[in-house]
Amino acid sequence: MLTIYNSLTRTKEPLTPIVPGKIQLYVCGMTVYDYAHVGHARVMVVFDTVVRYLRARGFDVTYVRNITDIDDKIIKRAAENDESVDTLTERFIRAMREDEVALGLGAPDAEPRATRHLAEIIAMIEALVGRGYAYPAPNGDVYYRVRKFGHYGALSGKSIDELRVGARVEVGEAKEDPLDFALWKAAKPGEPAWHSPWGPGRPGWHIECSAMSTACLGEHFDIHGGGMDLKFPHHENEIAQSEGATGHKFVNLWMHVGFVRVNEEKMSKSLGNFFTIREVLKQYSAEELRYFILASHYRSPLDYTDENLKNARAALTGFYLALREAPAGGDVDPAAAERFYSAMDDDFNTPKAIAELAGLATALNRARQEGRHEEATELGATLRGLGAMIGLLRDSPEDYLKGAPATRGGLDDEAIQAMIDRRTAARKNRDWAESDRIRDELKRLGVILEDSAQGTTWRRG
């Protein structure tokens, strides 16, 4: 039985689809005003892995991930750049999709944009006003009455009284209560605006996801996910809005991905301590970044360091060395598969699943060395098949081990082969000093040579 840790109930719960065999999943995506960083990559990779695994286990998954293309940060950045909001957001949507392709991620089934769901947003606000959960203010804003929603704080574990301490009404706001939050913001000079029953303005950030998720998946769906930083207030507010508007349960299971940390601080744009996906992919392959992310449980903090990424490279090198010599073909070993499924079925425990893969690689090396070819064939097929279920070990061993010069060293394949040819000639002439010099030079440049009776092969170290 597959269980998932539900952030709302703080317990692991069985995944029981609303419609048998079908899973509806909504994930809060990017606010597109800058390049995606490793924190965003973690959320993308985690839910890409969740979707891959659920589909591999036979579920019909509908995966929706939104784009926030209008909010305060976007408006501020566009003004700083002296460009339109549309120009800014289109540029960074293109960049986000380039990063997704570079990471080898599967595309969501739907990718709603806030500015294309204004009708649904306005309709939901009207429903909240009609049910007494929201009120138009004299300044043209519309606010949500937090105290009206009896379960507010259930997701974050915060009490109304705790939240009341420190709550403030900013200049220009017209709230009944400092805890209330904006559903609709009246237009300000120079800002994008849309018509509404309350005058020209734009939606608040929180209502966007409530409207987009229900527009794509209905008023009640299976799983809602996102980064840990969204638990409060964003997801707390989504629950209040959605359930206030419909009168029934919004989501069955809430999944939250832990922070990526740099020097024990959360990686974020506001702190200025972030590394963009495209910067990281200049030094490490997409699979190495994916392995680095999956080597820790998705709910745990993840420390971003070069050492941890190098460890990911070393681990993947070991897997691909095992697979390079494995015979092609074979069937997946049912016993090994069950151990792997057991790990993944326990709240997507990828570190334990990877440990099972490592055990298979060790067994594969032993079987091959001992001449048990049939067993090696089955173990190789099992390692490839199970790894692919979480998006790993999909490259050919040669492609991975030779790697890309951009991430593994400056020499291209032709230059390496030319040096190997010179070394081969030196060995034929019994010029061992020159042979060793070339081997050492290649090693210094990150290229490892492996001699065998069949000749010399190479890989990037």
28 is in an annotated binding site: yes
Q: Residue 221's beta-bridge partner residues? A: 251
* Residue closest to 163 by CA, chosen among 242, 232, 258, 241: 232
CA angle 15, 221, 180 (to 5 degrees): 120
- Alpha helices, H only, 230-372: 236-246, 277-280, 286-294, 306-324, 334-345, 350-369
- DSSP letter at 177 equals S
| Contact by Cβ (8 Å): 71, 203 | no
| H or E element at residue 222 | strand 221-227
Tell me the two tokens of residue 229: 């930083």
- DSSP letter at 180 equals -
100 is in an annotated binding site: no
CA distance 40 to 429: 55
Q: Residue 110's beta-bridge partner residues? A: 64
216 is in an annotated binding site: no
Tell me the two tokens of residue 216: 């794509």
CA angle 348, 351, 353 (to 5 degrees): 70
- DSSP letter at 230 equals G
Q: Residue 457's beta-bridge partner residues? A: 450
Q: What is the dihedral of CA 376, 379, 381, 387, to 10 degrees?
A: -140
**């009120």: which residue's tokens?**
135
Tell me the two tokens of residue 416: 């390496």
CA distance 78 to 34: 11
Question: CB-based contacts of 395: which residues, under 8 Å, 6+ apart?
Answer: 287, 320
Is the Cα dihedral 63, 202, 257, 403 positive or negative?
positive
Question: What number of H helices and E strands is found in the chain?
Answer: 17, 15
**Residues at the annotated binding site for ATP?**
269
**Residues at the annotated binding site for Zn(2+)?**
28, 209, 234, 238
**Residues at the annotated binding site?**
28, 209, 234, 238, 269
